[in-house]
Structure 1
């Protein structure tokens, strides 16, 4: 140490247990500024540089990027706000990495353990899904199925129900289920794609917000009957369901309208969409019925109501 109590770059590196190259790296990036320079232009550091260098090493050990380390050091607030923000960011990034690894592990187990004759098909399905999986394709699928004039509020609510959240720690079966959902959503406009049906629809819904607000109310009522394992039947849920369709079209609820609505819904039934909702239920394992299951229950209740009235 010099008479002024300053350390050379070599002395600082030795006391901190790092290489001279490391000290020079942090100095060049402004994290560890030299106190002064000697007459020969060599860096000299004050005693406080040792504690700062040790702190830098501790922050880097947490895998904080150099710019984040600089922000933490510059804030000088007792390592509270900036450090907390940096650590939170690292935790989010690490969580995403862990989820990706869990999905990759489950996908590998799925391919390894499946029958040999299924391996090529499952590899194709799983290979089309990113890790961690993105639900963007599923959201695009349903946005294309919804009326253009539907309010953002209702679009957001519908997507919350229609686009399942992938589990953070999936089983191989869940990886396959999500891959099948992704395949439905990304298929090149198959016959069962609701977007095709929406484009060819001759039935005019004048007020789409009225329709979907009413459907949500009807689905809430019907879900209780479905969870109780009741047979589809007349009642408040069905009346609310029919009223939503009638009000959205500016028509009264009548026996004739119910017959037409029942026929229209029967023609709109599609196995592909039914399969989507079935897969959604498998992926989430939620006790709550999916919108697809509730819609099918109400559709069946309407058919029973129309048939009973006709008889």
Structure 2
């Protein structure tokens, strides 16, 4: 049977794989061989096809652990290639984030460069920033809410890191990351959430109603219209009234304005401005919500119920 086998030199010539590499693959169990009476490695025809596949997969950058799984029939070529592509996507996103961060520091003026360097150095990548923001909102939402509603809110409140961010976007994400660690902001939101939790009958119903009001307000926000009374604000107030056991009235609106005070502090306004910068969309959920709460303030101010000129 040895007459039908190939020597290591013949195998190298047929496959284009160096002899030294073939020996390594044999030692690693990637390619099988038998020994001749003289102790030399001999290979069957199957080794040619096997080694050809190994060479092709190595040419695409796949590692030996993945190649072993293909050869063992544990995973298909399509599966390992897809996994390698996904891993490469992560690496490319990290590199794009790093490049944008470097540009952001490079383009900063001398007076702010040190502060920007410190800001950006605190965030490893966009995924880390997003995870921190998700954790921030999970910590501050103390009222019982369904996982589906929480996920929907997080989708609106936390931007997805772009695959190829601009310097301005990585700076915005880094500033959001810093805000997520702001203890004073967290304490204020927690205090509001705990106080409201005792007054709200159904948090999911409230969030649904607020989302509807924000959707109505988006057109006015996109058009740059100033806060005003109208059906958008009426829906917002009705959403709160239905879960707080009240009805829309000037007195209720004044109480409601105090209930949402923590949502309107300068740091939260800054949060939503940064979300718009990071996402590239100026009309965010937060922008619409702030428009509604500012409209609420207008509605309870002297002369505020009149339509704008």
Separation in 2, partners of 1:194, 1:161: 21
Offset at 1:239?
1.6
Contact 2:11 2:43 in 1 (8 A): yes
Alignment map for 1:226-305 (pairs within 5 Å)? 226-266=221-261, 268-287=263-282, 289-305=283-299
Offset at 1:156?
0.2
Cα RMSD after superposing both structures = 2.5
Look up the match of 1:190.
184
Change (3 A) 1:206 1:105: same
Change (3 A) 1:99 1:285: same
2:32 matches 1:33: yes
1:227-266 superposed Cα distances (whole Å, 9 cap, x missing partner) = 2333333332212111111122222233321121123334
Look up the match of 1:166.
161
Look up the match of 1:72.
70
Alignment map for 1:69-218 (pairs within 5 Å)? 69-75=67-73, 82-131=76-125, 133-134=127-128, 135-187=130-182, 189-191=183-185, 194-198=188-192, 201=195, 204-218=199-213
Offset at 1:180?
0.8
Which stretch has the larger CA shift, 232-241 or 91-100?
A: 232-241
Separation in 1, partners of 2:241, 2:126: 43
2:62 matches 1:59: no
Contact 2:70 2:76 in 1 (8 A): yes
Change (3 A) 1:129 1:44: same
TM-score, normalisation: structure 1: 0.87
Offset at 1:192?
5.9
1:148-203 superposed Cα distances (whole Å, 9 cap, x missing partner) = 4111111000000111111111222222111111111123x124655433466366
Change (3 A) 1:172 1:310: closer
Give the gaps of 5 or more residues in structure 2: none
Q: The residue matched to 1:44 in structure 2 has which SS?
A: strand
Contact 1:164 1:283 in 2 (8 A): yes
Separation in 2, partners of 1:103, 1:290: 23
Q: Count residues in correspondence.
A: 303
Look up the match of 1:221.
216
Change (3 A) 1:222 1:3: closer
TM-score, normalisation: structure 2: 0.88
Give the gaps of 5 or more residues in structure 1: none
Change (3 A) 1:201 1:226: same
Look up the match of 1:11.
10
Separation in 2, partners of 1:199, 1:266: 11
